[in-house]
Amino acid sequence: MEDLISLTRAALSSPTIESFETLAFQLLTVSIEASVQAVQYGREHLKTTPPPKPHIKETIGSYTLFRQLPNKHDPTSHNRAEHPY
């Protein structure tokens, strides 16, 4: 991060094509590294996250409601608001 700050300052203090090319290349590198880390984190998270619970679909008039089934392995699951994914 320090490198990006110093490269940005250098590019703005002496605006040349080379300074902006260096800054752009460094930003692209950091962006790619962050994307790779996000994918790795996502893969690890998927390994440790249980699959989503099934839902009950109800239709009332023109409205469709989805209720989450209680988790039989977690007796407190009916007390918590949970994201469906």
Nearest to 67 by CA among 55, 78, 77: 55
Could you read off the pLDDT of 28-47 as tens digits, one per residue?
988 999 999 999 988 888 78
Calculate the alpha carbon distances from 7 to 1, 15, 32, 53 in Å: 10, 11, 18, 48
Record the pTM.
Answer: 0.45
Q: What is the pLDDT of residues 60-70, one digit of tens each?
A: 777 766 666 66
Count the neighbouring beta carbons within 10 Å of the beta carbon of residue 61: 5
Regarding predicted confidence, which is higher, 50 or 44? 44
